[in-house]
Amino acid sequence: MSESVFNGKFTSGKFAGQPVYAPYFWDQVKRGMADDKNGNVYLFDITPKDVDKFSDLDKFEVVRLYDDGNGFVTVEAGYDDED
């Protein structure tokens, strides 16, 4: 991947401004592996495997990924009870 990363976030491209784990979860979206979906928002329960790959996820329960339909995605880690 040619995008550059600064302070754990991509600085350009499809994932600009997003955390380094954005492509990992986007790949899972493309393979139909989201745990849940609501419109353009995909929900993933964070697993021990995810935390092994991205230690920043250890304090969260879920990752939400939003596809804006224009070639960009927004990703945030949070807790299961957030709406």
Q: How far is CA 7 from CA 4, 10, 19, 81, in A?
A: 10, 8, 9, 28
Residue 40 lies in a domain: yes
Total domains present in the chain:
1
Assigned domain for 58 exists: yes
The verdict on residue 63 lying in a domain is: yes
* Maximum separation of any 2 CA atoms in the chain, in Å: 35
Specify if 83 maps to a domain. no
The per-residue pLDDT for 4 is: 86
Per run of 10 residues, the mean pLDDT along the chain (length 83 residues) is 76 88 95 94 97 96 93 92 63
pLDDT at 82: 59
The Cα 65–Cα 40 span in angstroms is 8
* pLDDT for the residue 70: 86
pLDDT of residue 21: 96
Q: Whose CA is closest to 60, among 17, 15, 10, 25?
A: 25
